[in-house]
Amino acid sequence: MCTTCGCSSDDAVVTDPGRPARVLAGDHPHGHDQGGHHHHDAEPATRTLVLEQAVLAKNDVLAEANRTWFRGRQILALNLMSSPGAGKTTLLERTITDLSAELDLAVVEGDQETLLDAERIRATGCKVVQINTGAGCHLDADMVARGLQVLEPPARSIVLIENVGNLVCPALFDLGERARIVIMSVTEGQDKPLKYPQMFRAADLMILNKIDLAPYVSFDPERCITYARQVNPKLDVISLSATRGDGLDRWYDWLREGAGDLLPRG
C-alpha cells in the first residue's frame, strides 16, 4: 500500500493554471494538520500495518472535515477514478461544454506531473486547479483541501475531482466526496473489476466509456458489467462514449439527480 510506495501529501504542489505563480505546497483551509505519509525502510510487516492504519485514520479525519466543508456550502463533490487513458478528462470536457449553462461546475485535477489536463479544462472556461503529486499515486484529503483553497468553488456548485490514474490506491483514500465514480473503457480488459475489486467495491457508479470502439476490440460489455456487479451488487452502471455522445444523457441525468434541489439556476 501507499505507506511503502513513496506517496506523501507534503510533496504535492497545488497550482491555479490561470495564475501559475499561485502555488500552495502546505497550507490547509480547514485549520487541521497536514496529512502526510511517513516512510521507513525495511520495517517488519507488523510495523507497516500500524503505519497503514495510522495513515488511513488520519486521512479519514481530514476527509470528514472536507465533507463538512462541502456540506456547509451545499457543494456536490464527486471523486472520478480510473486507470490512465480511460477518458476521464475527455468526459469532463464534454460534460462542462454541455452542462455549464445549467450547472455551476469546478474541477480538481490530479496528476503526478504537468498542467496538461488542467489546461484542457481551463480552455472550456471552467474553474480548475491542478494538484501534482510527484511520486504519489493518488490524491488524499489533505491535498484536496489545499486545492479547494485555491479553487474557491462557489456555494451550490459541483466539484469534479479527477484523481490520479490508478486502479489501486485511490480506492483506499476518502477525499470527503459524496460519491465515487470509476471509469473504465472498452479498450481495457473486461475482467478489470475482478482484478481490482477494491476499486469497484468502493464505487457508487461505473462509467463504461469508449463504447463507440466496442466493434473494433475484443471486449464483452455485458460480461464486464456482470463482473463488476459480482464485486459490488449495488453498483450503478452507465455505458457511454464521451467523444461520440452515446449515453451522455444518462450521465447528465445522474449528475442532476445527485445535485438534487441544491444546484438549479433560476
**What CATH number is associated with residue 169?**
3.40.50.300
What is the residue whose three cell numbers read 495513515?
Answer: 55
31 within domain boundaries: no
199-255 confidence digits (pLDDT tens):
999 999 999 999 999 999 999 999 999 999 999 999 999 999 999 999 999 999 999
Residue 212 is assigned to a structural domain of this protein: no
148 belongs to a structural domain: yes
Q: What count of residues does the chain have?
A: 266
| CA gap 101, 107 in Å, rounded | 16
pLDDT tens for each residue of 162-194 = 999 999 999 999 999 999 999 999 999 999 999
Q: Is 92 helix (H, G, I), strand (E, B) or coil?
A: helix
Q: Is residue 172 part of a domain?
A: yes
Distance CA 61, CA 76 (A): 19
The pLDDT value given to residue 226: 98
| Closest to 170 in 3D by CA, of 146, 147, 129, 202 | 202
What mean pLDDT is reported for the chain? 88
Radius of gyration for the alpha carbons in the chain, expressed in angstroms and rounded: 18
Cα separation of 5 and 46, whole Å? 17
pLDDT of residue 257 exceeding 80, the answer is yes
Q: Is residue 12 part of a domain?
A: no
User: Within a domain: residue 255?
Assistant: yes
3-state SS assignment for residue 253: helix
Does residue 215 lie in a domain region? no
The pLDDT confidence band at residue 160, using thresholds 50, 70 and 90, is very high
pLDDT, position 34: 43
Cα–Cα distance measured from residue 146 to residue 25, given in angstroms and rounded to the nearest whole number: 8
Q: Which of 146, 174, 153 is nearest to 63 (CA)?
A: 174
Q: CA dihedral defined by 107, 184, 173, 26, rounded to 10 degrees?
A: -40
The answer to whether 75 touches 158, Cβ cutoff 8 Å, is yes
Burial of 13 (0-12, 13-18, 19+ CB in 10 A): middle
Q: 261: how many CB neighbours lie within 10 A of its CB?
A: 6
Q: How many domains, in total, are found in the chain?
A: 1
pLDDT, mean of residues 83-112: 97
Task: Identify the CA nearest to 112 among candidates 174, 153, 169, 152.
Answer: 169
Of 35-49, 76-90, 122-136, 198-212, give the lowest mean pLDDT range.
Answer: 35-49
* pLDDT above 50 for 37: no
pTM of the entire predicted model? 0.84
Which is higher by pLDDT, 9 or 94?
Answer: 94
266 within domain boundaries: no
pLDDT at 82 over 80: yes
pLDDT band of residue 20 (cuts 50, 70, 90) is low
With a cut of 90, say whether residue 33 has pLDDT above it: no
Whole domain around residue 125: which residue ranges?
Answer: 57-180+247-261
pLDDT at 107 > cutoff 90? yes
